[in-house]
Chains A and B, each alone.
Chain A
Amino acid sequence: MDNLDPQLLARALDVSAVGVIILDSDLRIHFWNDWMEKGSRLLAPKVLGHSLLEVFPELRATRITKAVETALHSGLPTMLSHRLTPTPFPLYTASEMTRAEARMSQMVLIKAIRDAHDARFCLIQIQDITNTVSRENILRNQANELKIAKESAQDASKAKSDFLANMSHEIRTPMNAIIGMSHLALKTELTPRQRDYITKVHTSAQSLLGIINDILDFSKIEAGKLTMESVPFYLEDVLNNVGNLIALKAEEQGLEVNFSVALDVPLNLLGDPLRLGQILINLTNNAVKFTREGNIIVRIGIEKLEEYRVTLHFEVQDSGIGMTPEQMGRLFTAFTQADSSTTRKFGGTGLGLTICKRLVEMMQGRIWVESSANEGSTFHFTAIFAIKNKDRRRFRLPSRDLVGTRVLVADDNPVAREILQKSFESFSFQVTCVASGEEALFEMERAHARHNPYKMVFLDWKMRELDGIHTAREIARRFPGCKIPRIVMVSAYAREDIKLASEGAGVDAYLTKPINLSVLFETVLSILHQDFSTSRAHASPDESGRSGPRMDWRGVRVLLVEDNEINQQVARELLEEEGVVVSIADNGQEAVDAVGAASFDLVLMDVQMPVMDGYAATRAIRALPELGDLPIIAMTANAMAGDREKCISYGMNDHISKPIDPPVMFATMARHLKLCELTPEPAGTEGPAPPADELPAALDGIDITAGLRNVNGNRKLYRKVLKDVHDRFADVIARLRDALRTGAMDVALRLSHTFKGVAGTIGAMELHRLAAHLEEALKENHRDLVPDRLERLEPEVTRVMTALAGLADTPRETPAMPPRSGPVDQERLLTILLELEALLADGDSDAMERIDQARQWMGHDMMADAMQALTECVEDYEFEEAQRILQPILAELRANRDGGADE
């Protein structure tokens, strides 16, 4: 190395791929390689011996010069980067471009070196990084464009979500009115034609809502906002819901739907029942849509059973138009349908299967289809559920004697036969299945001849040749007398229709397909005259809000905050129907004022309102110290993911979405209130007294079913109402006549109005109609029509009152409701009575309702006389007298309350 020729070293530096300059301590250039000659376009002889600053005056006082000085002075090296060196060497790349464009991007390294005599020199090395710089510029520009594109895509997607949320709100608000009003309208008296129209309006609105929900679900899936619940549920409840929803449609098309649940399938599960139902409804709806005749079978079996979880395999099989392999390939993609022509033929959004696929995936399952054109399709999916309770539900027969009961099943549908056979076998009955009415008759003859007759016969209504009804008639003809077995008619059609068609055929009971195992069991037992109520081994899952016990809503005070008048009406009437005392606030500000002025058990809060919205109102209410735990439930029409979270973050307790689904609303409210169950008390707990809910099987002029429906099926209450009607209105005709004679038209009008309402409530439909006619005549001031209408009303009054007279025999007993007491009740009572006071001042006969409510809230000994006097006054429309009676009661209550507060 020592012998290396200096010429050689200089040559090596000359041809090196970087620029090399060597300066002495006076910055004089001692070396200038070839690379520098090219880059600077200055030849070595011109620069050697000159100062660097002489050659490049622009470098004076720049980083480069400073670095050179540092190196020469303290030996420290400097590396100068392109970005942090604003003034580099004036060097140019070899190109055709102008000087400015051809400027070379550089990285410069400046170091100190020493010669043999220990004298310091400065070595400058320059690297051409022009290519790197331009490459990175391109990359940066591309990244920038990508970023802009991504942002605008996100903006567009956000705009889409916002649009969906807004549209959802806009659509749901009127939908709430349509669904709610038609729901309410269906509870009024309607001509069959009107009922048909309104029913169709209601159904169409529901299906429109379904489409809107699909679109929303899809947008949630796109946004990754779809969530799954994990709650205990009962598989059969899900199937019942699906059955109820699908049966009507299937029936319209003459299709039969059958559920076949393998007997080892655990039924008590943990998961999202609503989403599971949604998948099944979607698949069965499709099946119905694409099937013209035949049947639809929903099968559920176990794919894999582990200790704590089960993988269920669901199949929905139809006998419809089927699909080609190409069509199947496109099936689970959004916005596509098997065949574009079916879009027109069958309608639909094409989102259903996409949603199903996503839901199934969220249940850790998969979905697929087997199909061939014109031979029907079978949709399969699997889903994993945790097992809540491993015990299979067993149907325990109330008596050993029933084991081996002989049952005959006649159905031309092999699947339906098989399902019934398995079901009966699970009850430990002895089953024989046949495929037609003729075979059934033949089999019965045979059994009869062997003195081993069947106890029960299950006949499918629609069988080829000999249908169920004819078979039943034939059975009645051939086996007269006591040997006739019990006959159950099974059909995919609504009960009422078959009932009508099979009148006189000797049918004991009716069952609707798809058959629910529990219903089947109960039907069997009831027709065998067995008490079945205690033999059911299963209990409903603990938290199934929908099928939970009926709650007692009477006297619960709810503040309804809602700006839309129609929605106010829908919600108010739904609530009042259950006995809830409803107050209304038109906006958030009114709500805040209202909760300050009176006490409420719960607030239903619309979110979007003028003056003050629901969020602000909630915050204001929560700021009031004593109202920190007043339950506030938001009602939003958005139903977008995040609504609930947002409501809760603003201090609300829960959230329901519009359109209001009454069971959901009540279940949600019930979660936040302490309510009594409204179950008829089990027989026996009432002591020796005869059961108070004893109702006659029929009452002349009264549709008991309709009447019971109006009181939510509470038989005790119904009986009390019937008696009250008799007590209060037996002399209604006389009172009307009196009023008319004395010219007190307003009294007559009020009385006829009240009476009309009462008649409707108890299910006295004809009476209701006639009373309405009278009221109309009075209201329109058609005095000429009044006597005639009164005349026509009278015999109906007599008829109904005679029927009710039988009930009124028992002495006027204590109120049907157990008396309640305690400070809370006093508070409620006071609220009710204050409302009563206002009604009395207005001379409003609705006052009667408040009196009845008040009675529910006071002990029966408490001011009983005063209340009775009040009732009589109101009945006689002596409102001023009633007000006088009320005053001392109010005074006493106020005194009690204030006294209580002092303690």
Chain B
Amino acid sequence: MFFLTEMEEDALKEFFNMGLGMAAASLSQMVNNEVLLSLPQLKVVPYDEATRMLVANDEEQLVAIRQNFSGELTGTSLLIFPGAESLELVRTLLNEQMPLEVLMELEQETLQDVGNVVLNAFLESFTQMMSIQFEFEAAEFLKGSGAFLLDITSHLAAQRLAMQEEANEENERAFVLMMDFKTHDEEDAQHTLSGFVVLLFSQPSMEILKRELKTILGAF
């Protein structure tokens, strides 16, 4: 069932962590405060299991930043926060003195900016390690239940170009990554926030990914 070997998984993790290190550095610069990003967990699971992992609570409103990509590799990357955590993240990052009850428009924008930096780090890992061509769409801000955020058809609609032929849910594969943000406020209190990064690939993209990983590992 699992289709990445342990070695391939480790290699992938290594790439991601390098990307995250760079993302953390630019985030730290952006918010003028040290930000640490880490990936305590990485899992490759079928789509429906990814859904189960995220949709523990149907009622909860989640906030996500989404970036679609297409080309030789086709899929979607998502950075997902529980609603309240995203609010807290923005406020800690911005050292916000005067929090309001809801995520304001500019705060959404800020979150989108941060999410964009993080997702770019992942996507850049792919572009750097592989010799494949793909195009990226701009980051989008989404709000809704877990089921809505992971809804395949909404991604497919967004990627009308590349994926019509293989719209088979069973074949969808997802990387689910737990991601921790660590930062501290002006009183030096530590804040750790967790979010999920989900990378959804179409089945053919997954094959390409595996092939590319093999090539890279073979080179060592």
Which of A's residues lie within 8 Å of B, judged by CB? 63, 66, 70, 74-85, 107, 109, 111-112, 129, 132-133, 136, 139-140, 143-144, 147
Contacts and interface: CB of A to CB of B under 8 A. Distances in A.
A77 B68 CA distance: 11
A139 B99 CA distance: 11
Contact of B120 (A78, A83, A107): A78
Contact of A79 (B26, B30, B116, B134): B116
A103 to B, nearest CB: 16
Nearest to A83: B110
Given A81-B113, A136-B106, A140-B100, A111 B124 contact: no
Interface in B80-101: 94, 98, 100
B106 A82 contact: yes
A132 B138 contact: no
A136 B98 contact: no
A77 B127 contact: no
Given A74-B127, A77-B116, A84-B31, A143 B100 contact: yes
B112 interface: yes
Contacts of A75: 127, 134-136
Contact of A109 (B30, B110, B138): B138
B160 to A, nearest CB: 15
B109 A107 contact: yes
Contact of A136 (B104, B116, B124, B138): B104
A85 B116 CA distance: 14
A76 B127 contact: yes
Contact of B105 (A76, A78, A136): A136
B149 to A, nearest CB: 18
Given A84-B110, A136-B106, A143-B100, A78 B116 contact: yes
Contacts of B116: 77-79
| Chain A facing B: main interface SS | mixed
A76 B128 CA distance: 12
B10 interface: no
> Top 5 A-B pairs ranked by shortest CB distance?
A81-B113, A81-B109, A81-B110, A84-B30, A77-B138
Given A75-B136, A109-B138, A139-B100, A83 B127 contact: no
A133 B124 CA distance: 32
14 contacts: A74-B124, A76-B120, A76-B127, A77-B138, A77-B139, A79-B139, A83-B106, A85-B113, A112-B136, A129-B109, A132-B105, A136-B105, A136-B106, A144-B98
Nearest to A114: B135
Interface of B: 26, 30-31, 67, 94, 98, 100, 104-106, 109-110, 112-114, 116-117, 120, 123-124, 127-128, 134-139
Contacts of B137: 77
B98 A133 contact: no
| Chain B facing A: main interface SS | helix
A150 to B, nearest CB: 13
A410 to B, nearest CB: 73
A111 B138 contact: yes
Contacts of A109: 138
A65 to B, nearest CB: 13
Contact of A84 (B114, B124, B127): B114
Which of A66, A79, A80, A112 has the most chain B CB within a 10 Å cutoff? A79
Which of A75, A80, A143 has the most chain B CB within a 10 Å cutoff? A75
Given A63-B30, A140-B98, A83 B136 contact: no
A83 B104 CA distance: 12
A132 B109 CA distance: 11
A709 to B, nearest CB: 67
Contacts of B139: 77, 79
Contacts of B100: 139-140, 143
A143 B113 contact: no
B68 to A, nearest CB: 11
Nearest to B109: A81
Contacts of B94: 83
A76 B30 CA distance: 18
A79 B98 contact: no
A81 B112 contact: yes
Contacts of B109: 81-83, 107, 129
Nearest to A144: B98
B106 A133 contact: yes
Given A83-B94, A139-B100, A77 B106 contact: no
A134 to B, nearest CB: 11
Nearest to B27: A84
Contacts of A66: 26
Which of A75, A84, A112 has the most chain B CB within a 10 Å cutoff? A84
Contacts of B31: 84
Contacts of B127: 74-76
B113 A80 contact: yes
Given A70-B120, A140-B98, A143-B100, A77 B110 contact: no
Nearest to B65: A79
A77 B77 CA distance: 13
Contacts of A132: 105-106
Contacts of A63: 30
Given A75-B127, A129-B106, 9 more contacts: A75-B135, A76-B120, A76-B136, A78-B120, A84-B30, A85-B113, A132-B106, A140-B98, A144-B98
A76 B139 CA distance: 10
A111 B110 CA distance: 18
A489 B35 CA distance: 91
